[in-house]
Amino acid sequence: MSTTPQATPRRATITDVAREAGTGKTSISRYLNGEMSVLSPELRARIEAAIARLDYQPNQMARGLKRGRNRLIGMLLADLTNPYTVEVLQGVEAACHALGLMPLICHAANEVEMERRYLQLLTTYRVEGVIVNALGVREETLRPVGSGGIPVVLVDRMVDGLVTDMVGLDNRAAAELGARHLLDNGFDDIWFVVQPFEQVSSRQLREAAFREVMSGQGGKGHEGGTGGKREGGRAGSNRDGSEGGVRGHTLVLNLGDQAAVERALAELDHAIDASGNPTRTAGRIALFAANAPVALCLALHLKARYGADWQARVALLSIDDPEWAELTGVTAIRQPTYEIGYRAVEFLHERIEGVQTTARDCLLPGELIVRASTLR
Amino acid sequence: MSTTPQATPRRATITDVAREAGTGKTSISRYLNGEMSVLSPELRARIEAAIARLDYQPNQMARGLKRGRNRLIGMLLADLTNPYTVEVLQGVEAACHALGLMPLICHAANEVEMERRYLQLLTTYRVEGVIVNALGVREETLRPVGSGGIPVVLVDRMVDGLVTDMVGLDNRAAAELGARHLLDNGFDDIWFVVQPFEQVSSRQLREAAFREVMSGQGGKGHEGGTGGKREGGRAGSNRDGSEGGVRGHTLVLNLGDQAAVERALAELDHAIDASGNPTRTAGRIALFAANAPVALCLALHLKARYGADWQARVALLSIDDPEWAELTGVTAIRQPTYEIGYRAVEFLHERIEGVQTTARDCLLPGELIVRASTLR
DNA sequence: CTGTTAGCGCATTCAT
DNA sequence: ATGAATGCGCTAACAG
């Protein structure tokens, strides 16, 4: 060790500094809060020295207790396993850093109960606001924060009955973009594969938009304001659309249930096997994954079943652009994840500072990245 | 909205509860701290009711201020972009949850200056301990915490001059495992590709172990206790080993420097092009990536250069098992990331609770996952 | 068993 | 321009 170990290196307090500088605590406090104009240069110098000598660092907890704000915000994540989450997190981190906020990260790991507990814990730390990538849909879950008067901004999905700022992908436009791309490239049998979506607004919107395009009525419109809920199909169910003979299906893939996944994949296999000659583009099925986890699950399965050359048999397009998409040549719609995180913090910051406008929705556009997978 | 918006929903304090329950603050405090045996059932019931009625939640900040501990720990991450980091984070989250700790996540984003700032910020929040996946190697950087008497546990890499608990992969064993696997499968021209390693102990150890195996002296030993530092080769440099005519090279890939990456890759291309007939296994070059980011960089480049069938020309083995490894059939050595994170928190918790034993190293074994890439 | 008192480290009146 | 006093919400002696 290069430093002499000290006995009980109790951190210096404002009182210590005051004594060391031969002055009162008030002046130290003033110095800390940048009220320089009210301090004689002489005193100021002494304080500076004392602080340095004692390696003093003001206790944020105490400050927070006193002034009622501690610069802490909560960030509740549904699933760290999803690359999307991590990317958003980076934007959040950056924004926090820029705005002088400190994020408390909580990982609900897909368990609603955890989500509830963490929310409660966060209020206990008196965070000034919370960014939530919600798992549960019930406003009830958000009660601890929502009604507690502490600002909330939602990311990616909304929660019924809760009106707050939210920022995320323009799901409608993204799904349309993807569906159109597939249609334009001659695919006439398209499967939209998505996790159970009754509970998640973003999935709902994507599925609905896909279905609309497939049924030929796909307008170019943006998402509606608070986005009406829509009854989703049950697992394994699928509806057929029609745009000049093209077929569109929705396949639900419940990643949390191994058995269900296998059932759904079997259904898919059946369709693929029946899709006839792989060289006929018109006969090549296209899969439209609603997000990266789904896309990965599909890719892994297809590779296992059809070998390394699986893409010759099936085309894959994914919302989300995971790092392996480029590597495997899978077409993707990249979400502006970093910006989503950044904006979320900005919104929250404004609320914390007292902005009172009505709830805002910030819908950011996705970017289509065409790769070999969806080209003939 | 389903709830009636309240004016200034100022959170209830212990005083409010005391008044509501018609008792003193002390009893409330006792109740909060589970000292039930000292409370008459009657009073206890009244308190319970009052708390429920007021939706009271004790202020952690205030508690922390008083008792000197706030259950907060810091988690400093070098790079969230690395899947390794995220996986470790999950273990950390889980352990914290189990031990009643709250992690403050900080992302240094590969900037040493950020690392320093965050460390300082963390002490400001009076975290009880810190888990560090260090960027900088200087003990100096860790000064704010290391010498401040607050416990630190290192993850993945150590910091010279700083003796503390550390947990990570058994790098020596892992590198040996990988090198041996390649040797056993008949590869005789192996390139160990690694980011600049002068600064990072884990990379150093991996490279050194690789080199030893290639030079035929690779013992089966574990890493030495505090692991002696070793002078690393400069960018682009490579040494040749010899074990019955096999050649081992070390290639440095500085991912942070685009130009340097291109130079290094060019060198690699040259070697591959010169490696002769792709069908002769003995002539097929094997790449041993020191971690996932390197592996991804290599894979992307090779695919761009040699097409989708690049693996016919080059074998790839990676330490770290990113999600795309299975998909592309790349052999990997999986780190017990979750456990690393979990153990780190356990160590830290023990230190926080006052354990005084000398610094411990926890070296966890990697698991070789053989895939098509490294088989003939 | 229960309440009173005295701070934890700091920011803020209010005097000086 | 500076300092003394008060209290944020809570815990920990110390009495009753």
Residues with CB under 7 A from strand C: A 10-11, 13-15, 25-26, 29-30, 32-33, 57-59, 62-63, 65-67; B 22-27, 30, 37-40, 42-44, 62, 65-66, 68
Tell which strand D nucleotides have any atom below 7 Å from a protein Cβ: 1-5, 7-13
The pLDDT value given to residue A320: 98
Q: Closest residue to C7 by CA to C1' distance? A: B66
A280 pLDDT exceeds 50?
A: no
Q: How many CB pairs under 8 A join A and B?
A: 134
Same domain for A327 and A190? yes
Q: Interior CA angle at B92 toward B209 and B322, to 5°?
A: 50
Whether A65 is covered by a domain: the verdict is no
CB atoms within 10 A of CB B332: 26
Same domain for A112 and A161? yes
Q: Which of B308, B310, B253 is nearest to B278 (CA)?
A: B310
* Position A290 confidence tier, pLDDT thresholds 50, 70, 90: very high
At residue A72, the 3 state secondary structure works out as strand
Q: Closest residue to C9 by CA to C1' distance? A: A62
B333 pLDDT exceeds 70?
A: yes
Mean pLDDT for the stretch of residues A141-167:
84
Sign, Cα dihedral of A20, A24, A29, A31: negative
* Residue B47 structural domain: 14-58
The pLDDT value given to residue B238: 45
What are the Cα distances from residue B69, in Å, to A81, B125, B206, B343?
Answer: 31, 11, 39, 21
Whether A320 is covered by a domain: the verdict is yes
Distance from the Cα of A170 to chain B's closest Cα (Å) equals: 24
pTM of the predicted model as reported, rounded to 2 decimal places:
0.89
The pLDDT value given to residue A327: 97
pLDDT (tens digit per residue) in B174-230 = 999 999 999 999 999 999 999 999 989 999 999 999 999 999 865 555 554 433 333
Q: Which residue is listed with tokens 């058995």?
A: A259
B232 pLDDT exceeds 50?
A: no
B94 pLDDT exceeds 70?
A: yes
Whether B3 is covered by a domain: the verdict is no
CB A151 within 8 A of CB A248: no
Q: Look up residue B139 and give its amino acid.
A: E
What are the Cα distances from residue B120, in Å, to A56, A205, B40, B63, B130?
Answer: 11, 44, 46, 22, 11
Same domain for A179 and A39? no
Mean pLDDT of chain B: 87
A373 pLDDT exceeds 50?
A: yes
Mean pLDDT of chain A: 87
CB atoms within 10 A of CB B323: 18
Distance from the Cα of A201 to chain B's closest Cα (Å) equals: 18
User: What are the two backbone dihedrals, phi and then psi, of residue B194, each rounded to the nearest 5 degrees?
Assistant: -145, 150
The pLDDT value given to residue A146: 64
The pLDDT value given to residue B9: 65
Please give the structure tokens belonging to residue B370. Answer: 């053989």
Same domain for B131 and B254? no
The pLDDT value given to residue A124: 93
Same domain for A49 and A126? no
pLDDT (tens digit per residue) in B44-61 = 999 999 999 999 999 999
Nearest CA in chain B to A123: B57
- Alpha carbon distance B139, A2 (integer Å): 9
Query: Which of A93, A140, A330 is the best residue to mutate to test the B interface, defined by the most B CB atoms within 10 Å of its own CB?
Result: A93
B207 touches chain A (CB under 8 A): no
CA–C1' nearest nucleotide, residue A65: D8
The pLDDT value given to residue A301: 98
Same domain for B274 and B353? no
Residues with CB under 7 A from strand D: A 22-27, 30, 37-40, 42-44, 62, 65-66; B 10-11, 13-15, 25-26, 28-29, 32-33, 58-59, 62-63, 65-67
Same domain for B200 and B295? yes
- What's the CA A12/C1' D13 distance, rounded, in angstroms? 24
B80 pLDDT exceeds 60?
A: yes
Whether B282 is covered by a domain: the verdict is yes
Q: Interior CA angle at B243 toward B240 and B246, to 5°?
A: 60
Instruction: Kindly report the CATH number assigned to the domain that includes residue A304.
Output: 3.40.50.2300
B116 against A145, higher pLDDT? B116
Query: What kind and span of H or E run contains B173?
Result: helix B171-184
Chain B positions in Cβ-Cβ contact with residue A299 (cut-off 8 Å)? 327
Mean pLDDT for the stretch of residues A282-289:
84
Whether A21 is covered by a domain: the verdict is yes
At residue B369, the 3 state secondary structure works out as strand
Same domain for A198 and A312? yes
Q: Which residue is listed with tokens 């400001």?
A: B124
Using the beta-carbon criterion (under 8 Å), do B70 and A61 form an inter-chain contact? yes
Chain A positions in Cβ-Cβ contact with residue B88 (cut-off 8 Å)? none
In percent, the amount of chain A with pLDDT more than 70 equals 86
Mean pLDDT for the stretch of residues B278-291:
75
Same domain for A185 and A318? yes
Whether A212 is covered by a domain: the verdict is yes
The pLDDT value given to residue B26: 94
Quote the DSSP letter at residue A96.
H
B101 pLDDT exceeds 60?
A: yes
The pLDDT value given to residue B220: 57
* Position A246 confidence tier, pLDDT thresholds 50, 70, 90: confident
The pLDDT value given to residue A233: 36
The pLDDT value given to residue A47: 95
Nearest CB to A105 within list B58, B97, B103: B103
Same domain for B30 and B85? no
Mean pLDDT for the stretch of residues A159-171:
93
Distance from the Cα of A314 to chain B's closest Cα (Å) equals: 15
Using the beta-carbon criterion (under 8 Å), do B323 and A324 form an inter-chain contact? yes
- What's the CA A29/C1' C10 distance, rounded, in angstroms? 8
Q: Which of B372, B251, B337 is nearest to B301 (CA)?
A: B251
Lowest mean pLDDT among A14-18, A283-287, B57-61: A283-287
pLDDT (tens digit per residue) in A196-227 = 999 899 999 999 999 999 998 655 555 544 33
pLDDT (tens digit per residue) in A31-71 = 999 999 999 999 999 999 999 999 999 999 999 999 999 99
What are the Cα distances from residue B3, in Å, to A118, A120, A139, B6, B7?
Answer: 22, 18, 10, 9, 12
Lowest mean pLDDT among A143-152, A311-320, B82-91, B306-315: A143-152
Burial class (CB in 10 A: 0-12, 13-18, 19+), A219: exposed
* Position A277 confidence tier, pLDDT thresholds 50, 70, 90: low
Mean pLDDT for the stretch of residues A253-259:
96
Same domain for B239 and B316? yes
The pLDDT value given to residue B134: 85
Same domain for A301 and A211? yes
CA A187 to chain centre: 31
Please give the structure tokens belonging to residue A147. Answer: 């009604």
The pLDDT value given to residue B148: 61
Nearest CB to B324 within list A62, A90, A324: A324
Q: Which residues are within 8 A (CB) of A91 and not within 5 positions of it... i.e. 6 or more apart? A: A337, A338, A339, A340, A341, A342, A343, A344, A345
Whether B147 is covered by a domain: the verdict is yes
> How many domains in chain B?
3
Whether A53 is covered by a domain: the verdict is yes
Mean pLDDT for the stretch of residues A330-354:
97
The pLDDT value given to residue A193: 98
